[in-house]
Amino acid sequence: MNKTGWLLYESESASVNKWFIEKLQKECEPYGLTLKLIYTDYVSDAYAMNLSSLADELLSRKETPAFIVNRSRNADIAYDFEKQGIRVFNPAEVTKVANDKELSYKVADKLGVPYMPFVTVNEEEILSMLPDSGNGSDDLTILYAGIRSLTDTEGYNSVRLKAEAFGYPFVLKPAEGHGGKHVSLINSEAELLQAIKGIIVDHNRYPYRKLIIQRLASVRGRDLRVYFIGGKIVAGMMRTAKNSGDLCANFSLGGNASLYDPGQRERSVAEKLAEALPGDYMGVDFVFDKDGEPVFNEFEDVVGARMVYANTDIDMVSLFAHHIGSVVSG
């Protein structure tokens, strides 16, 4: 019997992941599964406005899906579907924690897994830095329209004091960020101000609720991603930055990648983290500190596969489809 599931994406993300979407749909077919692409844009907007039970609304308008593949990074949607008794890949708790670096570090802390020290810029501080009024311009002098300047806001001064107490240099990044967006190496208050300006200008498009001020790992521009499907390690990929001295090694930003067999220490720590946050298809990322020691960096909920296909013969999407088929049919 054919079963239909929904593949949830934000429309912007779906447009750049067309190959992954179409391949996953095709790979699910041999298991008697049909994947229907559903855009979640208006649903996500509604959750942002504290409107709940959007899954109920979707279900009332469409045929009830047998399962959900959630690639929207929205945990609220996943929780609503799980309440309906619908299986979600990845589970809602994975999506919630993996898309919040502060929560991710709390998981690591409970397990005794090392991570780079950090402090958090909270939502109240971010909101207090937003202009009182504006005309949509990306020029902050116009946005503030003479009412106040960014440096005069309570939020910015709170961030500045946190930065001074923490000590330069450090990495500034959104707690909910991915793909290296708005990740900056901060060496001075002038660089902090510039980075904060960029985040504030983009706030309508990227409404971050928390920022992370974090100590820089000793080894810059190199990280390890360990891929998991169904709780088992499938592959390790070592990433290096495109240019010497670059902070981010993301493949999507031009970084280089190669297949890597995780060592016993790396494998053990990655498995411990994945067991604590059991997902269906996810990544566990490490950076490297003193003496090349692997240090937990983040979980990746909506993990991609471009660098795997570009550098290996591993068919990651096919393996993910097999896992989905086994769970749904089982």
Domain ranges of the chain: 3-93, 101-114+217-328, 118-214
Q: Is the pLDDT of residue 142 over 50?
A: no
pLDDT at 72 over 50: yes
**pLDDT tens digits, one per residue of 204-237:** 888 999 999 999 998 887 899 999 999 999 999 9
Token pair for 38: 């559903």
- Give pLDDT tens digits for 97-116: 999 999 999 999 999 999 99
Per-residue confidence (pLDDT) for residue 234, from 0 to 100: 97
Mean pLDDT of 197-207: 88
Find tokens 């290296």 and name the residue: 180
Per cent of the chain over pLDDT 70 is 84
Residue-level pLDDT at 152: 86
Helix 41-48 vs helix 75-83: crossing angle, to nearest 10:
100
The CATH superfamily holding the domain 3-93 is Response regulator (3.40.50.2300)
Q: Which range among 68-72, 140-144, 241-245 has the greatest average pLDDT?
A: 68-72
For residue 250, pLDDT over 60 is answered with no
Q: State the DSSP code for 286.
A: E
326 membership: H or E segment, kind and range: helix 316-329
Residues 59 and 293: their CA atoms lie apart, in Å, by 48
pLDDT, tens only, 303-328: 989 999 999 999 999 999 999 999 99
* Residue 136, pLDDT above cutoff 50: no
pTM surpassing 0.85?
yes
Q: What does the pLDDT look like over 253-299, one tens digit per residue? A: 556 889 999 999 999 999 999 999 999 999 999 999 988 889 999 99
What value does the mean pLDDT take over residues 1-17?
Answer: 90
Return the CATH number of the domain spanning residue range 101-114+217-328.
3.30.470.20
- CATH number belonging to the domain at 118-214, selected among 3.30.1490.20, 3.30.1330.40, 3.30.2320.80, 3.40.190.10: 3.30.1490.20
Q: Note the Cα 44 to chain centre separation in Å.
A: 16
Give the amino acid at 220.
R
